[in-house]
Every structure is written in structure tokens, then in C-alpha cells.
Amino acid sequence: MLRRQDEDDALRLLIAQRRLYRKAKRILGVRWLGMIVIGLGAPVLSVAQPSLAVVAGAVAGLWIFLGRTVLVFWQTSIGAQAAAVQEQFDFYVYGMNESVERSELPSLEEIARIAGPDETLRASAKREKLFEWYPIEASTPGVTTVAISQRANASYADHLLRSTARVWGVATVLWLVAMTFVSVVTDLSLLQFIAGVFLPVLPAFLDVIQYVVGIWRASRDRKDLADSIQARLEGHGDPIEPQDLVVWQERIYALRRTTPEVPDWVYRLRRKDNEAAMHSAAKQLANKADKTAT
């Protein structure tokens, strides 16, 4: 497994899933750009020209409709493809048989087209720091290694999602405080505040809340999975069997398909610390698993 995760066939899948996720995040970015423009521009427009408050509210509602239909369908479709490709990477590295055919999985030609020419795979992987993706120790037994890698995946995503939820939570609070402050300073009446500030940004605010709640829910689900795998690695319950790995892999795939995308800048900001913590935890669990086995 240590060798397989750095082979060209594995790197091709890893690069493809990263690029598919990146495309899905760009669509999410378009949605958020619209929300930011509405959230910041609608109150200003409504205060400057109260007669345009209804127009601002109508534009906000139209954008929410488009964002939650066309853009969400497009984003989730690409995200599902990325999740299917990432699962193929896991199957290849773990030496695990495919349990179910994934209709979302792109063809071999499509994956090759997304990842780029074979002669550039290793250079692309090096540039994006994709080598040694999982914290695999050559001396650790195969079943234990897969379980540790699955837990690392769930735990890493949990911490990344929590960071994202905190960032958006703080940004939302600051946004609300700023709107309230501007409304007080400009001496808006209650009616003007409701019609010109609150109602135009309400759809954007609800979209943000839904996103943050989804992030927290996904984080909690990842943590539950990581904790259950960790308990088995530490010797609580029956020894880990190959069938357990299949069940956990199915759970990971389901979470990947339903988890909201995390902005790349949050991922890059937290990557170094998260990877250091992941490798440390993996070594600790490998040592505990060895002691439990003996």
C-alpha cells in the first residue's frame, strides 16, 4: 500500500478527483459571490434608494432560486464524480474489491483527460503535494493499515470542516453586526430596516446558515466514524475484520457525496497542521494496535 499510493495509476485518480472537487468549489464560489454581492449591495442600494428595496429583494430571491436549482445540481453532480474517483483511488491503494458499480464514476478516458498526460502525472502530483497521501507504515499489517487510513481520512475531514464552520460562523456574525450598525448610524426606521435591509439579505443569510449547519453535521458524522474506527483499533470490541473495512468504506463514500465543499484557501491554511496531526495520530494508533495484537 505504501508503494501503490505513489504509483502512476493511483496518482492519476488522485489528481482527477482533486481537479473535479476544485471545479465543484468554483461553482460554489459563484454561488457565494452572488450571495456576497446581494448581502453587501442590497442594504446599501435600499438605503440609498428606498424605492429599489423591492427590486433588491426580487433579485435576491431570483439568485437563491438559481443557486439552489441549476448551480446546486451542477455542483453536486461534479462532487459526486469526484467522490467516485476518490473511492477508486482508495480501492486501488487498499487492494480492495469494488462493492458496487458507481454510475457517477467517469470513464477511463474522462479521468485521463482530467488528470492530464501520463508523462506529467508525477510533476503535477509533486506540485500539488499528493505523494504519500495516507499515513502508511510498511511494518503495520494490511487490515490495520487500511483501518488507520480510513480513520485518518475521516478525522482529517472532521477538523477541516470544523475550521470552515468557524470561519463562516464568525463572518456571518460580523456581517449581521455591520448591517445593524449601518442601519442605526443612518437612522433607518423599523419599516425601512425590514424592507430595505432585512428582507433583501434574508435569502442570502438563510443560504449561509444552511451551509454552516451542513458543515457542522458533516463534521459530526466524520468524527463519529473516526471514533468508532479508533475504538476498534485500540482493542475495544471484536478484532477488525475485512468486512468492517468494507462497511467503513461505504460510509466514507456516502459522506463524501453529501458533504459540502470546503474552500481551497481554508484547506491550504490548515493543511500543514492537519497533516502533522494526522501522521502523529496514525503512528500512535499503529503502536497501540501492535500492542493489542501481542
- C-alpha 69/C-alpha 119 separation (Å) is 39
CA atoms within 13 A on the CB side of 107: 3
> pLDDT by residue (tens digit) across 30-66?
887 877 777 667 666 666 676 666 676 677 778 778 8
Give the pLDDT score at 168: 85
Q: pLDDT tens digits for 241-265?
A: 999 999 999 999 999 998 888 888 8
pLDDT at 75: 92
Cβ distance 11 to 92 under 8 Å? Answer: no
Q: What is the mean pLDDT of residues 93-105?
A: 87
139 pLDDT band, cuts 50/70/90, is confident
Where helices occur in the chain by DSSP H, the ranges are 8-48, 53-66, 72-94, 108-115, 121-127, 142-185, 190-193, 199-233, 242-258, 264-293
pLDDT at position 46: 63
Within a 13 Å sphere around the CA of 181, how many CA atoms are in the beta-carbon half? 6
* Amino acid residing at 15: I
Please check whether residue 154 is in contact with residue 268, taking contact to mean a CB–CB distance below 8 angstroms.
no
The mean per-residue pLDDT over the stretch 160-175 comes to 88
pLDDT at 109 over 70: yes
> Which of 85-89, 207-211, 285-289 has the largest mean confidence?
85-89
Looking at residue 238, its pLDDT comes to 87
Domain of 127, in residue numbers: 4-293
What's the structural domain count of the chain?
1
